[in-house]
């Protein structure tokens, strides 16, 4: 695991440095890492990457509606 600039331990990475370099923001890296982890079958890393994202209110509400607050909080996503 790596540590980002906020001294947060990052989940397992499924993207290369080259793939990350082409991203427009750190938030985009987190979203794409979440998708890559999901494709690799690593559910824990997928949710952990998503928990690092800064999400718009509409995305938070969609997750809340689809998953429920208790489930999201167990995955580290606090709304």
pTM of the entire predicted model: 0.85
d(CA 8, CA 59): 23
Burial class (CB in 10 A: 0-12, 13-18, 19+), 79: exposed
The answer to whether 29 and 23 have CB atoms below 8 angstroms apart is yes
Residue 77 tokens read as 């996503």
Q: What is the pLDDT of residues 2-45, one digit of tens each?
A: 555 567 789 999 999 999 998 999 999 999 999 999 999 999 99
């Amino acid at each position: 695991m790596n540590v980002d600039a906020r001294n947060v331990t990052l989940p397992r990475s499924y993207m290369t440095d080259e793939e990350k370099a082409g991203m427009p923001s750190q938030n985009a890296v987190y979203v794409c890492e979440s998708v890559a982890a999901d494709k690799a079958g690593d559910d824990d890393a997928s949710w952990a990457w998503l928990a690092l994202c800064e999400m718009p209110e509409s995305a938070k509400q969609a997750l809340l509606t689809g998953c429920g607050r208790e489930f999201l909080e167990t995955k580290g996503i606090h709304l």
